[in-house]
Amino acid sequence: MDLRDLAQDAEKMSSDAASTPESSVNEEVACGVTVELTGYSENAETTTGDVAGEAKEYTKETVIERLVTISESDGSEISRDEVSKLKQVFYNIRKNELLAEKQAFVDQGNEESAFAPMPDSMEQQMYELLNIIKNKKAQYIVRLESEREQNLQKKQAVIAELNSMAEDTDNVNRHYQRFRELSQEFKELGEVPPTAQTEIWRNYQLAVERFYDQLKVNKDLRDYDFKKNQEIKQLLIQEAEKLEDASDVVMAFRRLQELHDKWREAGPVAKELREEMWTRFKDVSAVVNKRYQAFFEERKAKESENEQSKTALCELIENIDLSSLSNHTAWEDATKIILKAQEDWKKLGFASKKVNNQLFARFRKACDEFFAAKAQHFRSLRETQSENLVKKTALCEKAEALKDSTDWKKTADEFVALQKQWKAIGAVDRKQSDAIWQRFQNAADYFFEQRKKNASLQRKSEQAALKVKQGIIEELKQLSLEATDRESSIARYRQLQSEWNKAGHVPFRDKERIYEAYRSEANRVFDALDMNRHKSGMANFVSGIEEMSDDKNRLFRERERIARALEQKRAEMKTYQNNLGFFNVKSSSGNSIMRDMERRMKRINDDVSSLEEKLRLIDSKIK
């Protein structure tokens, strides 16, 4: 090795030593943020467009195959970006499958809200592979950290030996070959822990500078190297200045790290220019780093805000009291809350890396539990509604069997009872609710409409009967009571009695009044015409018995008829007597009813006496 080579190497190492103190603060900040950015990008979710593009190239099977391959590779070969994208592609495909399953479920006539997805075995396999990959990556990181610690110890040993050679001022030139070997060894050693990186570079460069300060080299060669290094560093400064206004802050920061690496590789410049050039480069780096720091601080603030919003959404769903959702409306209102929460979740960005996946798992768990409970509720509800449909169908059949009945009072009571039973039965499915209710209502409406028509006809009939009876009363008032017209008046009287009995019912409010008026006129006419119903009847009966006295069989048949009539009258009398014992008089209308009952009992008693007399007459003829 000649003096020129020795000088060039010396200048290069001196440049490394000069650059470290100037960039140590910036590198320390940059190093810390670089680690954070790398973690974020590896765990960031793929955009909708990227996932859609991946989904066209992958199937679930190919995703699983790729994950299997990755899980079998070494941890250093695992790309978190690729694993994250594969996971998102799988979720996108699974989402499309679930949408298709739900649509098929709805097309079969089911309620969309009752849909519950079937488990996917490949999804479970994916989770297992992800765990394997995660563990391998973690093991690799542990191994990498161990290697970094070993590298740190080796580099510290190199620095210690460099410092020892620098202290031997009399033999610096003799140590130069070993110096180069140590410098090359230091560069070939791998990474050290990020927290020690700045300190180890600073110590190394200080040791190199101490060594070069003791090394006497050719000044011309040093000046040549200084000029060459100055040109390189000026270009690095110019390129760094372009990064100040770059739109992509992350890209600008990463490019700045590359420029810092090249700055370290470049040799030193003239001593009078070192501070000036480093200050320019450091100031530009500070601007880029400040923008980068502001970007991540803003992102952290947004992530913190998103974390709070996502936590609030989780709590919103978790606080829904499922036990209080007892009807369809309550479940639908709660479902709207869940769907709104899911829409709001999609609009939110990421939370911090350490909690984002936990929050999503918590949110998904709360949603799954709600929809599982809802599906169970509606399955149970459909079973209950089916039972209710059977019960209401039975009530419809009963109502349809009763709708043509003319026993208005009894049937109306039965319809009221059926309506109470209907209200006591729970709801049926909405698709059948209107039809089954209309069927029941049609039967009830038909009956009550017929009853209404009948009541209207009955009222008209009663009014017509009232007019007829009023006419009979008026005719009784006008009936001639002269002796010369006695026979015709009696005949007309009896005819009017027959017409009265055939006239039918009058309105209830007029019943007592019209009957009293009729009875008063009838009694008046009866007394005036001296018509004894018993005497007249007995005369006719005696005449008839005389005609059949020669025919014993006819007499026996007549006696049987009279005996049956007598028993019937006695039974009727007993019934009236029993009813009279339970009857209480509390009003004028009650007095009228009492008088009517007494009048009927007197008439029955007269009939009993007449029938007994007729039996005695027949018995005398038979003997």
Give the type of residue at 169: T
Residue 166 lies in a domain: yes
**DSSP letter, residue 112:** G
Alpha carbons 309 and 348: distance in angstroms, whole number: 8
CA 583 and chain centroid, separation? 65
| pTM for this entry | 0.36
Burial of 329 (0-12, 13-18, 19+ CB in 10 A): exposed
- Sorted by sequence, the CB contacts under 8 Å of residue 377 that are 6+ apart come out as 325, 331
Residue 572 lies in a domain: yes
Mean pLDDT by 10 residues, the chain (623 residues): 38 40 32 28 36 57 89 82 89 88 84 80 87 87 87 90 79 75 86 87 85 60 76 90 86 89 83 87 90 84 86 88 82 88 86 84 88 84 84 88 84 87 84 86 85 72 80 80 70 80 78 80 73 53 69 82 88 82 56 73 83 84 74
Of 493, 530, 23, 65, the C-alpha closest to 283 is 23
Alpha carbons 365 and 314: distance in angstroms, whole number: 9
Buried b (16+ CB within 10 A) or exposed e, 234-269: eebbeebeebeeeeebeebbbbbbebbeebbebbbb
**DSSP letter, residue 503:** S
Residue 83 lies in a domain: yes
Q: Angle 99-102-108 (CA atoms, 0-180°, nearest 5)?
A: 145
- Sorted by sequence, the CB contacts under 8 Å of residue 553 that are 6+ apart come out as none
Pick the last residue of a domain from 183, 217, 251.
217
φ, ψ for residue 192 (rounded to 5)?
A: -115, 170
Tokens at 33, concatenated: 């943020």
Alpha carbons 540 and 552: distance in angstroms, whole number: 19
Q: Based on the domain organization, do 193 and 46 belong to the same domain?
A: yes
Pick the last residue of a domain from 400, 424, 453.
453
Rounded to the nearest 10 degrees, the angle between the axes of helix 3-43 and helix 271-318 is 10
Q: Based on the domain organization, do 187 and 83 belong to the same domain?
A: yes
Q: Based on the domain organization, do 554 and 411 belong to the same domain?
A: no
3-state secondary structure of 18: helix
Residue 500 lies in a domain: no
Residue 279 lies in a domain: no
Q: What is the pLDDT of residue 157?
A: 92
CA pseudo-torsion sign 334, 338, 339, 341 = positive
Residue with tokens 């049937």: 411
Q: Based on the domain organization, do 449 and 575 belong to the same domain?
A: no
What are the angstrom distances between the C-alpha of 10 and each of 7, 165, 172, 277?
5, 14, 12, 20
Q: Based on the domain organization, do 188 and 70 belong to the same domain?
A: yes
Q: Based on the domain organization, do 200 and 83 belong to the same domain?
A: yes
Tokens at 134, concatenated: 């995660």
Q: Based on the domain organization, do 439 and 564 belong to the same domain?
A: no
Alpha carbons 387 and 606: distance in angstroms, whole number: 64
Residue 181 domain boundaries: 3-217
φ, ψ for residue 124 (rounded to 5)?
A: -65, -40
For the chain, the domain total comes to 3
Alpha carbons 479 and 471: distance in angstroms, whole number: 12
Residue 163 lies in a domain: yes
Q: Based on the domain organization, do 447 and 550 belong to the same domain?
A: no
Residue 184 lies in a domain: yes
Q: Based on the domain organization, do 57 and 157 belong to the same domain?
A: yes
Q: Based on the domain organization, do 79 and 202 belong to the same domain?
A: yes
Pick the last residue of a domain from 152, 187, 217.
217
Burial of 312 (0-12, 13-18, 19+ CB in 10 A): exposed
Residue 197 lies in a domain: yes
